[in-house]
Amino acid sequence: MTAPADLSVVEDAEAQARFEDLIAQDSRIEPRDWMPDAYRKTLIRQISQHAHSEIIGMQPESNWISRAPSLKRKAILMAKVQDEAGHGLYLYSAAQTLGISREEMTQQLIEGKAKYSSIFNYTTPTWADMGAIGWLVDGAAICNQVPLCRASYGPYGRAMIRICKEESFHQRQGFEILLELMQGTEAQRRMAQEAVDRWYWPALMMFGPPDDQSPNSAQSMAWNIKRFSNDELRQRFVGMLVPQAEVMGVTLPDPNLKWNEAEQRYDMSEIDWTEFHEVLAGRGPANAERLRRRREAHEEGAWVREAAAEYARKQALKQKAVA
């Protein structure tokens, strides 16, 4: 007779084999499926960081809603910021299917223990920054996120499909803001160029460290979470920007940027990785302000959470009385 302990070893081995088979077939892993702990942890890490990025990412733009130059621009920007709140919520929900609660993730964020994208620690001093965020930041997000629609974890991939559709609209509205400024006065053209100068390098950093310094890439690619490496996506992004910059008439702020026909890639200047690590360590231009505002919003929203919990409690009591 097989002892119960041995039986669980056999079951684990079978579950592991089933998981590996699903990955090998490029199928999806669903919340009901067995998955290795490390796979679950990696997904929680990436999806929660992604959700936090969307939520913190609302701040640099919401700062401009009341100052947008026309009613039309105000309405568009408000819709975009609302979309970002929605993206955060889909992503928190996807992470919750892996066994972490929304409260736990929120706590990690407001205590400063969770990462979110480095890009949102930069400031937005002019209206043109709204154009640069849409064009460059959402553009980088699309490059990074379209492959994530095929991520092996079902709830993440499905959330990404909807998010990417909205990101395309965001990217176009940013392009259009910059295009309009570039067709305006000398001062408006300068404002647009300066915003591109400010956001170009931080946008390239969004893709993460160079491949040879990316500790998570190899395993995430083996699990079909990531489909391309950080450097591959960075190259793809630059390839997308070059013709668009020409149409707009802005200059990408890299004197060494040049197509290398022999290697079929863009040559470019070295990214300032010291700046990237400083921002990740909490010492970027707006890290402290972003966290302070997030904490404040969390405290201000306490009554909403209490009211929702009380409503849910009363509804549950009512349903129990009916049953």
Q: Report the interface residues with ligand BYC, using CB under 6 A.
A: 45-46, 49-50, 53-54, 57, 84, 115, 117-118, 137-138, 141, 144, 205-209, 214-217, 220, 226, 230, 280
Output the smallest distance, CB 162 to ligand BYC, in A: 14
CB nearer to ligand BYC: give 33 or 166.
Answer: 166
- Encoded tokens for 195: 């915003």
Backbone region of residue 257 per phi and psi (left: phi > 0; alpha: psi in -120 to 50; beta: other values): beta
Closest to ligand BYC by CB, 226 or 290:
226
Judged by CB, which is closer to ligand BYC: 56, or 179? Answer: 56
Q: Are 107 and 52 in contact (CB under 8 A)?
A: no
Provide, rounded to whole angstroms, the least separation between the CB of residue 112 and ligand BYC. Answer: 13
Question: Is residue 195 within 8 Å of 187, Cβ to Cβ?
Answer: no
Please check whether residue 163 is in contact with residue 87, taking contact to mean a CB–CB distance below 8 angstroms.
Answer: yes
* DSSP code per residue over 135-195: IIIHHHHHHHHTGGGG-SBHHHHHHHHHHHHHHHHHHHHHHHHHHHHHTS-HHHHHHHHHH
Q: Which residue is nearest to ligand BYC (CB)?
A: 57
- Among candidate residues 225, 273, 174, 168, the one with its CA nearest the CA of residue 49: 225
- Give the nearer residue to ligand BYC in terms of CB position, either 29 or 137: 137
Which lies closer to ligand BYC via its Cβ, residue 213 or residue 315? Answer: 213
Smallest gap from residue 46 Cβ to ligand BYC (A): 4
Closest CA to 152 of 49, 42, 13: 42
> Look-up: residue for tokens 């990074």?
144
Q: Cβ of residue 56: shortest distance to ligand BYC, in angstroms?
A: 8
